[in-house]
Amino acid sequence: MSEETLFDLSRPSRAGVSLPEPDVPVRPLEELLPGWALRKTPADLPELSEVDVVRHFTRLSTLNYHVDKGIYPLGSCTMKYNPKINEAASRNPRFAAIHPHAPDSVVQGALRLLYELAGYLAEISGMARVTLQPAAGAHGELAGMLIVRACHQARGEPRKRVIIPDSAHGTNPASVAIAGYEPVVLASGKDGLLDLEALETQVDEQTAAMMATNPNTLGLFERNIGRAAEILHSRGALLYMDGANLNALLGRARPGDLGVDVLHFNLHKTFSTPHGGGGPGAGPVGVKKELEPFLPVPVLEKKAGSYGWSYDRPLSIGRLHGQMGNFGVLVRAYVYIRMHGAEGLKKVTEMAVLNANYIRKRLEGTYQLPYPGDCLHECVFSGNLQKARGVRTLDIAKRLLDYGFHAPTIYFPLIVQEALMVEPTETESMASLDAFCEAMLAIDREARENPELAAGAPHTTPVGRLNEGKAARELNVCCPWPGLGRADETG
């Protein structure tokens, strides 16, 4: 399972391409380039044949787990299968080769796609208007919070605090802080839901908004969100909803109808773009009518049948990204929505919820379920019972790799001890859900009979347990080109 680097595989004078003899006079480089631009020694490049390179990368691609290989039940991340037709459309050169600053008149088709996509998202969510600019979920959160701030500013005072339930996603407090607000925690009730009495006592005239994840990170629908919106609105505060996991609500509930003022979507999750490893993504933001003037510029308008960008927005929070957003991701989302239609999207949600509840039913009893009852698109178990036998949640996750599955999200949300957060997504068949559950049940049996097995896992993967914090803590980004210096020398 080891794989050498291309430099190790290199053999002198092996070549990947063969070029024809030149049909123009050959002149030495020295005549064509100034002296300073000429290398003193030849570049140290690997020499390989085409098949060497293809096999190298094909072998590497199969060492990693990915969603085209099997179920990827990472909670909150919605690692669903992404239909290949999305790829075909977004890679069409008529989309892919567009210059982001092409004049409006020559890219009317692309602008129409953006305009219609924003319209679909507004309809799906019950919001008045949607911006497609933000490049990720967290970027959308920041945009949304800046809109909240601009709105309060326009009313006369920006206010100071944003309330965040302890069941919210981890990016929420960070976005709030970057927008210049102080995040304050709202403890969830015993049922894992918004505690309205606690909210009543916390909201005051310095509360700018509440930022709630719905469904929350326990996979539960926030049943009290409508009432929470009323409490906030009665004191001049706004309600932000983190709508990253909209595959739990499509066609069944519209955040706008629940009193939500601002929300972001994660197109790379709900509307299917391959993601992970840092991108690309898209985090559009939807707002109610009152917040429209604060949307980022430029805003896409349709006038007399043609589409164009408008900068005439004096109250706008400004620009966050290129006006086309992450266009390839937006094309995929458009195709995905058009392929499904309204009925299909509703079915997506029904299957996502059914699949999560199927796993919940099959594993409850074996794995602790701290918040029992129906879940939406994901369910959160605790590994407490297994930990008592010497197998921690981390060990369960590592052992799953030996069984050929990607692990669920672990140790999140923080309000569940030894958390195992499972989101199967709607794209998994019953057979694949069963296979995953069988592996989880087998690991529980091992925890009783042979706990060392899981404690030392994984045993069959190309690498064993990595020090997962080291790369982040000891960042060493060096420049491989001689003469340009290393990042750690030049700072």
Ligand X SMILES: *Cc1c(COP(=O)(O)O)cnc(C)c1O
344, with CB counted inside 10 A (0-12, 13-18, 19+), is middle
Q: Evaluate the omega torsion of the peptide bond into residue 413 and state whether it is cis, within 30 degrees of 0.
A: yes
- 171 part of the interface to ligand X, by CB under 6 A: yes
- 167 part of the interface to ligand X, by CB under 6 A: no
Segment lying near ligand X (by CB under 6 A), choices 81-89, 114-122, 196-204, 241-249: 241-249
**Contact between 446 and 391 (Cβ < 8 Å):** yes
Position with the least CB separation from ligand X? 137
Q: How far is the CB of 216 from ligand X (least distance, A)?
A: 9
Is 77 or 231 the residue whose CB approaches ligand X more closely?
77
Residue ranges in 126-253 assigned as alpha helix (H): 137-155, 171-178, 196-202, 225-234
Q: What torsion do the CA atoms of 200, 203, 204, 209 make, to the nearest 10 degrees?
A: -150
- 249 part of the interface to ligand X, by CB under 6 A: no
Is 284 or 458 the residue whose CB approaches ligand X more closely?
284
Q: How far is the CB of 175 from ligand X (least distance, A)?
A: 9
Instruction: Report d(CA 295, CA 140) in Å as an integer.
Output: 11
**From the list 48, 132, 136, 193, which residue makes contact with ligand X (rule: CB under 6 A)?**
136
Residue ranges in 265-326 assigned as alpha helix (H): 267-270
Is 280 or 370 the residue whose CB approaches ligand X more closely?
280
Nearest to 172 by CA among 283, 287, 327, 299: 283
Segment lying near ligand X (by CB under 6 A), choices 176-184, 204-212, 238-246, 335-343: 238-246
Segment lying near ligand X (by CB under 6 A), choices 58-66, 142-150, 239-247, 394-402: 239-247
**From the list 167, 188, 213, 368, which residue makes contact with ligand X (rule: CB under 6 A)?**
213
- 263 part of the interface to ligand X, by CB under 6 A: no
Segment lying near ligand X (by CB under 6 A), choices 35-43, 118-126, 130-138, 380-388: 130-138
- 138 part of the interface to ligand X, by CB under 6 A: yes
Is 86 or 266 the residue whose CB approaches ligand X more closely?
266
* Tokens 């309204």, residue located: 342
Q: What torsion do the CA atoms of 218, 283, 170, 256 make, to the nearest 10 degrees?
A: -50
Q: Are strands 262-265 and 238-243 parallel, antiparallel or unpaired?
A: parallel
**From the list 122, 244, 352, 353, which residue makes contact with ligand X (rule: CB under 6 A)?**
244
- 162 part of the interface to ligand X, by CB under 6 A: no
- 211 part of the interface to ligand X, by CB under 6 A: no
- 266 part of the interface to ligand X, by CB under 6 A: yes
State phi, psi for 416 to the nearest 5 degrees.
-115, 125
**Contact between 83 and 68 (Cβ < 8 Å):** no
Q: Rule CB under 6 A: which residues touch ligand X?
A: 76-77, 136-138, 169, 171, 213, 242, 244-245, 266, 281, 283
